[in-house]
A and B are shown apart, each in its own frame.
Chain A
Amino acid sequence: MMRRVKRVSAAIALLCAAVACVGVLESARSRRPSALDAALAAPALPAGVARTLSLGFASAVADVAYLQAIQVFGTRTAPRGDDRARDDETRRRAHAVFRLLDYVTDLDPAFRYAYVFGAVAVPSPLVSGGAAGAEEAAALLEKGVREVPDDWRLPFHLGFIHAEYRGDFAAAASAMAEAGRRPGRPSFVPPLATRLAAAGGSIETAVALARAMVGQAPDDEQRGEYMERLRLLELERGCLQVEIAAAIFREAHGRLPARAGELVAEGLLDSEPPEPHGGRIELDPATGAARSTAAERLRLDPQARDRMRRAMEEQLRARAARARAEEGR
């Protein structure tokens, strides 16, 4: 009888211990920091100390930190509808990825792909407009340009970041010119440098730059990112064309056109601009704003959009004047 009581007690004690283990495990899991928070807290050792203590295995340690940066880049936890939370997460992620890649390149300054990955992963468009991490990406690439003097891709990416995210076209042209001087660069790089110097800020230059980025992307993932950027820029170009033509139409007729087709009939546009995602560009007859039926427009910095609009407006007004002159004749 006593033996049976002992066995039952032991079984109950084991069961309780197992339940307690599961409880502690779940509690620990819920308190564990996310990959993003962990990356913000890491790395514990400064790169100089880590390099000394790695005892000749610095590039292997750099690989581990690089893998961590890739994991952090893929972390998405904020709910889709909450724009503020998404922007906050984007800013924190951009900073965390930069810190890790800066650490990686301090450990192994010749790790060229870490710079290329940083050029894509650090600057991140925000839902509210603008981009996070552009300055940090530029700093990382400037280090890459210094440390890897035979790779044209690093100044090329730096030029793209200066032009696309920072709106500094003089710096972009200078970086592109540096890319043009390096061995192995494709033939489209030197013309891009001169184009950036002469017509930086126009949407045509931005589209040409994005097309060049698609052409040189080393893998499908990066190519996909740049392809989407190119589609959004082409959509922005189409929407701007429709909005500016509609504004010119209103000056002549005292009203906005009912649809984009009227702008073609008026001779302000050759044809309705195509929507690169497969949808249609529609004009709101009440406000004169254009939108796509398939995708959201780029949330550009207001100054950048004004620059693009001014450059395009000159062309469309000249075209409208020609159309009116031909009509009068």
Chain B
Amino acid sequence: MSALAALAANTVRELARNKLLYVLLVFALALILGSVLLASLTIGQWERVINDVGLATVELSGALIAVLVGVGLLAGEVDRRTVYVTLAKPVTRARFVVGRYLGLCAMLVLLVAVMGGALTGVLRAAGFPMTFTGAAALLLICVELCLLAAFAVLFSSFTTTTLGTTFAVSVFAIGHMAGELATWAGKLKGPSASMLAVLARVVPNLQLLNLKTQAANQLPVSPGFVGLCALYGLLYSAVLLAVACLVFARRDLK
């Protein structure tokens, strides 16, 4: 357990030195602050525009970090051959993968907390509260980012960073279309319908983790629903991580 914590803490320290992360964070904070200007152009429901722009910025910048940093987490170590130094110590490959992943997740949660804090501050300054739905949307964005990071780690366990990034971005796109896939499956007939129906169930349903529209429209959501969605995302991530551990354990690192 202590080896896991040390690996995670080391990953956080390593990521804290990553310039890409700071560039994206500054860009995101500027967009969140700028949402007030955009809101001033609208008529009525200022809080809607601030919430929409703010939450979209948190999700987009977080997804970019999760994918771009996540795919380098294993593949970069292998390319730089620094993985040998770590694996020479009494650390199993599975523990190495899980430790690196947990470090990335800790960094993602920290980033979402910083951006969420900025969004709450902007809302407060404009005279609006951060609603429960808004906070739930931020929480589910965290879960979505952990899920994307798990995909990035899985892809980086068997392929290059370029391919891993492409695959992870594709998962983000398909995951947000999972609902539509199910609808299209219902409209089609034959084997293509069955294939789509299976695909709709297998790909992660990222729309389930998307409460941005509800937050923008200040619609109520039940804590039970939020909890179930978060559980779905975390279980999915755990399965992906287990597969990543298996794949990385069998990978020839020579």
Contacts and interface: CB of A to CB of B under 8 A. Distances in A.
B216 A59 contact: yes
A67 B53 CA distance: 13
A111 B212 CA distance: 12
A52 B175 CA distance: 11
B49 to A, nearest CB: 5
Nearest to A117: B43
B213 A110 contact: yes
Contact of A56 (B42, B53, B212, B219): B212
A59 B47 CA distance: 13
Interface in A7-59: 52, 55-59
Nearest to A55: B176
A162 to B, nearest CB: 23
Interface of B is mostly: helix
A56 B206 contact: yes
B212 A55 contact: no
A27 B209 CA distance: 49
A70 B212 contact: no
Nearest to B57: A60
B42 A221 contact: no
Interface in A156-208: none
A63 B217 contact: no
Contacts of A58: 213
Nearest to A111: B217
Contacts of A111: 48, 217
A218 B45 CA distance: 10
A52 B213 contact: no
A116 B207 CA distance: 28
A63 B53 CA distance: 9
A63 B44 CA distance: 12
Interface in A137-166: none
A55 to B, nearest CB: 4
B43 A221 contact: yes
A162 B47 CA distance: 31
Contacts of B173: 55
B48 A113 contact: yes
Contacts of A63: 38, 42, 48-49, 52-53, 216
A70 B41 contact: yes
A124 B213 CA distance: 31
Contacts of B49: 63
Nearest to A112: B217
A66 interface: yes
Contacts, number: 60
Contact of A55 (B43, B172, B213, B217): B172
Contact of B217 (A59, A66, A67, A117): A59
Interface string A211-237: 000000011010000000000000000
Contacts of A87: none
Contacts of A221: 43
B206 A60 contact: no
Contacts of A55: 172-173, 176-177
A243 interface: no
Given A59-B213, A111-B217, A70 B43 contact: yes
Contacts of B130: none
Contacts of B59: 56
A108 interface: yes
B243 interface: no
Interface string B16-49: 0000000000000000000000100111110011
Contacts of A218: 44
Given A63-B49, A63-B52, A108-B217, A116 B44 contact: yes
Interface in B175-190: 176-177, 180
A103 to B, nearest CB: 16
Contacts of B52: 59-60, 63
B210 interface: yes
Contact of A66 (B42, B172, B176): B42
A66 B45 CA distance: 11
B219 A59 contact: no
A219 B44 contact: yes
A121 to B, nearest CB: 9
Interface in A94-132: 108, 110-113, 116-117
Nearest to A52: B180
A219 B217 contact: no
Contacts of A219: 43-44
B94 interface: no
Contact of B210 (A56, A66, A117): A56
Contacts of A56: 59, 176, 206-207, 210, 212
A319 B43 CA distance: 47
11 contacts: A56-B59, A56-B207, A63-B49, A67-B42, A70-B42, A108-B216, A110-B213, A110-B217, A112-B45, A112-B217, A113-B48
Interface of A: 52, 55-60, 63, 66-67, 70, 108, 110-113, 116-117, 218-219, 221
Given A59-B212, A111-B48, 10 more contacts: A52-B180, A56-B59, A56-B212, A60-B212, A63-B38, A63-B49, A70-B41, A108-B216, A111-B217, A219-B43
> Lowest 10 A-B CB distances belong to which pairs?
A55-B176, A113-B45, A59-B213, A113-B44, A110-B217, A56-B176, A56-B210, A60-B56, A59-B216, A60-B52
